[in-house]
């Protein structure tokens, strides 16, 4: 089974790229983030390409989905005890069982600035994710959380850590939230570096960040022992980030022997 995660930065704007990538890569399950469309407006062309779709979006700056060609059951939108921001419940997490594997597609809040209320919201949201993981990851099926975590796990996951002093994405509290997922029984699936020493997954559109490889690794895959034990390959698909009209994120692809 091939499972992938991709922050597409607008599924409508990226639809031609997404359809081409699905045909080339042939993933069985895809977790998408930052749909920027409503649940009802999710492009029908994806289903026509052979995928069942569970989407969760309001048309604003978030939205998540799971695509599957190996079955799609037990769909759940939202987390246990999920917090709101400005009294709004944002569509940032969706879970489903696909071919016997339980997956969650998550789009963790950005946090904006450490002093901003959105940062405190981010930490509360991550706590709700941990509670959901603890409740679901203990059964016998493979389990994984995939998505844009908006956290670089280590200093090596940022092209120049000195530029991030006092900023979100690299704070101790955010990284502690990742450690809490490990305490709940998950381990990170580390993608291969390909020709680069560090397999970044995000590069800003500005200042030639992608050609210079000034990136960050913030798109992550965390899995249970039954999931990670079945991993036969994992990589960042940098090719999908190249060219015009691309997302500023690259997909992370994981192959399983299940």
- The residue assigned the tokens 């695509």 is 67
Measured in whole angstroms, the distance separating CA 30 from the mean position of its chain's CA atoms is 10
pLDDT at residue 198 in the model: 72
Spatial distance between the Cα atoms of 255 and 52, rounded to a whole number of angstroms: 20
* Average pLDDT for the chain: 95
A 10 A CB-CB count for 245 gives 8
Domains and CATH numbers, the chain: 2-248 (3.60.10.10)
Identify whether 51 is a catalytic site residue: no
Residue 193 pLDDT > 70: no
Burial of 257 (0-12, 13-18, 19+ CB in 10 A): exposed
Instruction: Give residue 196's pLDDT band: very low, low, confident or very high (50, 70, 90).
Output: low
Residue 192 pLDDT > 80: no
Per the annotation, where are the binding residues for Mg(2+)?
7, 34, 148, 150, 248-249
154-164 pLDDT, tens digit each? 999 999 999 99
52-84 pLDDT, tens digit each? 999 999 988 899 999 999 999 999 999 999 999
For residue 190, the 8-state DSSP code is P
State pTM to two decimals: 0.97
Paired strand residues for 253: 4, 235
Identify whether 86 is a catalytic site residue: no
Catalytic residue among 28, 148, 157, 219: 148
pLDDT at residue 24 in the model: 97
Instruction: Give residue 87's pLDDT band: very low, low, confident or very high (50, 70, 90).
Output: very high
Identify whether 205 is a catalytic site residue: no
Catalytic residue among 28, 51, 56, 107: 107
CB 181 within 8 A of CB 133: yes
Per the annotation, where are the binding residues?
7, 34, 148, 150, 248-249
Instruction: Give residue 50's pLDDT band: very low, low, confident or very high (50, 70, 90).
Output: very high
A 10 A CB-CB count for 1 gives 18
CB contact set of 99 (below 8 Å; sequence gap of 6+)? 1, 28, 29, 68, 70, 71, 258
Instruction: Give residue 140's pLDDT band: very low, low, confident or very high (50, 70, 90).
Output: confident
* Pair type for strands 215-216 and 252-256: unpaired
Catalytic residue among 56, 202, 237, 249: 249
- Quick one: what percent of the chain has pLDDT higher than 70? 98
């Amino acid at each position: 089974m091939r499972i992938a995660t991709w922050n597409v930065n607008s599924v409508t704007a990226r639809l031609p790229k997404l359809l081409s990538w699905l045909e080339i890569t042939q993933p069985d399950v895809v977790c998408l983030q930052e749909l920027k469309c409503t649940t009802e407006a999710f492009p029908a062309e994806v289903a026509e390409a052979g995928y069942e779709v569970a989407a969760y979006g309001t048309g604003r700056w978030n939205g998540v989905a799971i695509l599957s060609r190996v079955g799609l059951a037990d769909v759940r939108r939202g987390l246990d005890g999920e917090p709101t921001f400005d009294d709004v419940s944002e569509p940032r997490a969706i879970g489903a069982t696909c071919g016997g594997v339980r997956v969650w597609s998550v789009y963790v809040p950005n946090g904006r600035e450490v002093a901003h209320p959105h940062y405190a919201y981010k930490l509360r949201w991550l706590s709700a994710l941990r509670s959901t993981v603890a409740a679901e990851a203990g059964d016998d099926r493979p389990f994984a959380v995939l998505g844009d975590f908006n956290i670089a796990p280590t200093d090596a996951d940022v092209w120049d850590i000195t530029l991030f002093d006092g900023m979100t994405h690299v704070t101790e509290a955010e990284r502690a939230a990742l450690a809490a997922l490990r305490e709940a029984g998950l381990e990170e699936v580390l993608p291969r570096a390909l020709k680069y020493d560090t397999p970044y997954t995000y590069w800003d559109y500005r200042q030639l960040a992608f050609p210079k490889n000034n990136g960050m690794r913030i798109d992550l895959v965390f899995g249970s022992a039954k999931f990670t034990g079945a991993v036969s390959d994992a990589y960042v698909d940098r090719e999908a980030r190249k060219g015009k009209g691309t997302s500023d994120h690259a997909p992370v692809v994981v192959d399983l022997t299940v």
